[in-house]
């Protein structure tokens, strides 16, 4: 389909973006890579009278790895995440997740900021950022503020971001220990039926800390504190893994759709999480 008529804006700085958002209010929407918003506009699921393209806004495209912290500009693409050697050394789970997002054509344009900002429960980066305990920087008319990824998502397509705010950066402490991002999908380019992000820290033969998040199994990404607690202090044996899986199954709330009924999704979630835990533990 063809989207409804809209006016296209391409400001050169954040002040211009904020001014347009203040002027047009609910009639305006910012666009990063466009791979979520444009399809919704074409299907007439979203009508945006004023589309604000962020491509020319300075300061949104950098990747910084310094003093044990990673900072990503919102306009960094998935392809750039994959290619950046500093990220591959410091936070390899980012590259692992980016490689299973859609296909190369999408990854060349799709941005990390767009992936996390619009609140789509099927996107991969929101759950991963919760696993990493990331922070999102938001800029609006009242200045800049920071929101934890674990507090950002309220419901499907509803977040802590105000209408006149723009997500400009993502930052997190460089993770340590074993990691895995495991995803099951029907075909290349599809959303996950279920995906799991796992980071495990090992002390001798014991799990010292664990962070677990799941994707597309509720109307928001699910960071499961209970699942992490089930693994912490254990040797990550079969009983501990089973307890972690059960904790996640208690936390998620999948719905039936064209990826399968609820029982199937819960079954897949258990398998995907088990694989991710085992792979992360093997790397710890």
What local confidence, expressed as pLDDT, does residue 3 receive? 83
Give 272's contacts (C-beta < 8 A, 6+ positions apart): 182, 183, 184, 194, 195, 196
Claim to verify: residue 168 and residue 67 sit in the same structural domain: yes
> What is the average pLDDT score of the chain?
94
Claim to verify: residue 36 and residue 70 sit in the same structural domain: no
Band (92; pLDDT cuts 50, 70, 90): very high
Task: Give the pLDDT confidence of 160-206 residue by residue, as tens digits.
Answer: 999 899 999 999 999 999 999 999 998 887 889 999 999 999 999 99
Residue 57 lies in a domain: no
Task: Give the pLDDT confidence of 198-257 residue by residue, as tens digits.
Answer: 999 999 999 999 999 999 999 999 999 999 999 999 999 999 999 999 999 999 999 999
Boundary (domain end) residue, out of 150, 173, 196: 173
Residue 2 lies in a domain: no
Band (13; pLDDT cuts 50, 70, 90): very high
Closest CA to 164 of 50, 22, 52: 22
Claim to verify: residue 164 and residue 211 sit in the same structural domain: no
Beta strands in 54-141 (DSSP E): 63-66, 69-73, 135-140
Boundary (domain end) residue, out of 173, 190, 214: 173
What local confidence, expressed as pLDDT, does residue 167 receive? 97
Q: The domain spanning residue 117 has which CATH number?
A: 3.30.465.10
Band (104; pLDDT cuts 50, 70, 90): confident
């Amino acid at each position: 389909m063809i989207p409804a008529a809209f006016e296209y804006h391409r400001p050169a700085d954040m002040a211009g973006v904020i001014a347009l958002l203040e002027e047009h209010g609910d009639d305006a929407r910012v666009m990063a890579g466009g791979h979520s918003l444009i399809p919704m506009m074409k299907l007439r699921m979203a009508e945006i009278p004023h589309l604000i393209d962020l491509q020319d806004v300075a300061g949104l495209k950098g990747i910084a790895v310094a003093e044990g912290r990673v900072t990503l500009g919102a306009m960094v693409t998935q392809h750039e995440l994959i290619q950046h050697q500093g990220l591959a050394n410091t936070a390899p789970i980012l590259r692992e997740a980016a490689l299973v997002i859609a296909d190369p054509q999408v990854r060349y344009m799709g941005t990390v900021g767009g992936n996390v900002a619009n609140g789509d429960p099927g996107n991969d980066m929101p759950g991963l950022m919760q696993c990493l305990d990331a922070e999102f920087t938001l800029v609006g008319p009242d200045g800049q503020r920071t929101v934890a990824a674990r507090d950002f998502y309220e419901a499907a397509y509803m977040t802590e971001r105000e209408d006149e705010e723009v997500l400009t950066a993502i930052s997190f402490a460089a993770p340590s220990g074993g990691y895995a991002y495991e995803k099951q999908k029907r075909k290349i380019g599809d959303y996950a039926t279920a995906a799991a992000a796992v980071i495990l820290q090992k002390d001798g033969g014991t799990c010292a800390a664990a962070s677990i998040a799941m994707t597309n199994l509720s109307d928001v990404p699910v960071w499961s504190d209970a699942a992490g607690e089930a693994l912490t202090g254990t040797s990550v044996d079969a009983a501990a893994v089973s307890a972690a899986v059960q904790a996640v199954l208690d936390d998620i709330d999948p719905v039936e759709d064209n990826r399968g009924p609820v029982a199937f999704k819960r079954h897949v979630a258990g398998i995907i999480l088990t694989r991710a835990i085992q792979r992360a533990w093997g790397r710890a």
